[in-house]
Chain A
Amino acid sequence: MLLRYVIRNLARHPLRATLTILAMSIIILAFGLLRTTVASWYADSLGTPPDRLRTRHAVSISFQLPVIYQQRIASVPGVAGISYANWFGGRWKDGKAFFPRYAVEPVSYLELHPEIQLSPSQREAFLRDRRACIVGRKLADKLGWDVGDIVRLQGSLYPGDWEFTIRGIYSTTSPTTDEGSLYLHWVAIDEQRRIEDRDRAGTVGWFVIRMANPEQAAQISEAIDRTFTNSMAETRTETEQAFRANMATMSGAVIRAIEIMSFLILGISLLIVANAMAMTVRERHHEYGILKTLGFRASHLGFLIFGESVCLALFGGILGVVLTYPASKGFGMFLTSNFGGFFATFELPVQLPVLVILISVGIGLLGAVIPFFLCLRSRIRDELRHVG
């Protein structure tokens, strides 16, 4: 019956309870989206195939490596395949629509990345035409592109005006590989560089390596890096997972800020619940006095106060989770289509409902601590005199 009492107490101030539950649900919604954003940011690195390595300049990814390293890397025992790529950079139209653009060696790159799926005819067309590019399905849908369309880019790392013909629209079999990128022929842009910027010609951003045995990743990485020790461009080789994680960490400050914010808003929800409970307990001072006269002890009053607080927070939390699912679809679509390079996927963690329930219960309990102790500290004589 005490539980019934708790539930009926919730309905005594419908407006206050509704507003508190709504506030809590909106905060949980924001928390869910922020946590998913953080998780998605790192998910890209977690879902990568285990048999791939990446070799980049030992100092920084922004330094280039000579493309001729390819043969020496390929000769390292355990290396089963190699390709290379570089940022193309550049700008499309006014630069507002951002999407990653990579210059790759197409034959080996597609071979090493089977998750990039193209129809045989489109693949053939892409490989045959040096001025061709392929784009992801999401990117094509977003920008209204189709096969045969011309993409005009204004170069930055590779200066000049560039035109590429879309020869294929790829989809992906991996949820962590985005469909929002553009791939073009490295050789096409390098040819131009040889004319205009000879010093930087023949360089790549990184090599992609497929290992015969993923368990030998450490030995192969070490062997590759040892090959270029004391050279003009020393290398750093790591698994693709580590490489992507490092890339993610480069933007760590932003992600950490999002993480901190996600916890800060939980603090706000705690204050909201605590405030609602403080008002409730103050108004029911007299009633708690009556219960004390009937013999109700701290444990019973605690059940009533903490129970009401937990119910408030829990209802808000559950509503928040329910709202998070549809909201995440829209928010996820926005992120993946606008920041596809960073958020290949945006899926709510499966443990989110459990996490939210635990957090809600925690907020409910914490929110009732001060009101409960205020109630305990009050003397029956004063409570009976109190008019709520």
Chain B
Amino acid sequence: MATSIIDIQKVSHSYFRDDIEIPVLKQLTLNIEPASFVALLGPSGSGKTTILNLMAGFDRPMHGRISINQINVSQLSERQLARWRAKAIGFIFQFYNLIPVLTAAENVELPLLLTSLSRAQRAKHVATALRLVGLGDRMTHYPRQLSGGQEQRVAIARAIVMDPAILLADEPTGNLDSEAAEEIMILLQRLNAEQGKTIVLVTHDLEAAQRATTICKLQKGRLV
């Protein structure tokens, strides 16, 4: 049996609203193997985005432990987290979250600015990532000049340009029409199959979840 790339052990987490504790995750345990494509499926409020936030270190679990590639994420400082995140994780958001004043190429280049790569090397990586998502001819376009599906593909290029082992996707098709959503899911499948990326997809859409190799259903903070 392969070692887990993502190891979530008995994680509990709550939010507080006006001093009222709202439990979100309850003793959740989940192991994700390298190069797998896991969909976390569940209704709103089931805790799927919270798991994603905890995996990425945006939040620290109140109880339990989360290890990514043998690293206990909860114990990293903010500075260490930032460095680790830049190398280990790629994010894909529902609303693409591209920087509107930067071109597609510049958006993709952003994570590379944190490395010691030269400008030419960065340009090469950017071109490769954009070609991989089928947007090699849209490098100089601004987000406003792209369709929703194209924007999401630029976001995916940005997520993979650092060649992270893990991609965390939060409702990546939630804001797209069915045709564009289909294209994005095919792209994610390709990244999983051809590039060996471990993908954790958070969705409430069963059709999208079915593209994954494993579906984990969440209900009120527990896996069911």
Interface residue ranges, A against B (CB under 8 Å): 1-2, 4-5, 8-9, 11-12, 286-287, 290-297, 300, 379-381, 384
Contacts and interface: CB of A to CB of B under 8 A. Distances in A.
Nearest to B102: A5
B102 A381 contact: no
B158 interface: yes
Contacts of B110: 291, 294, 296
Given A1-B113, A5-B101, A293-B91, A380 B106 contact: no
Contact of B82 (A4, A5, A290, A295): A295
B83 interface: yes
Given A1-B106, A380-B58, A381-B59, A295 B85 contact: yes
B42 to A, nearest CB: 18
A6 to B, nearest CB: 10
B20 interface: no
6 contacts: A290-B99, A291-B110, A295-B86, A295-B111, A380-B56, A381-B59
A293 B85 contact: yes
A374 B111 CA distance: 23
A382 to B, nearest CB: 9
A339 B144 CA distance: 59
A286 B59 CA distance: 16
Contacts of A381: 53, 58-59
Contacts of B224: none
Nearest to B106: A1
Interface residues of B, number: 24
A9 to B, nearest CB: 6
Contacts of A293: 56, 58, 85, 91
A1 B53 CA distance: 29
A295 B87 contact: yes
B114 A12 contact: no
B109 interface: yes
Contacts of A295: 82-83, 85-87, 111, 114
A180 B59 CA distance: 74
Given A5-B99, A296-B110, A380-B56, 7 more contacts: A5-B101, A292-B82, A293-B58, A293-B91, A294-B86, A295-B83, A379-B58
Contacts of B147: none
Given A379-B58, A380-B58, A290 B114 contact: no
A12 B82 contact: no
Closest 4 CB pairs of A and B: A295-B86, A8-B101, A380-B58, A290-B97
B99 A287 contact: yes
Most buried by B among A1, A4, A295, A296: A295
A300 B115 CA distance: 12
Interface string B149-180: 00000000010000000000000000000000
Contacts of A287: 97, 99
Nearest to A383: B58
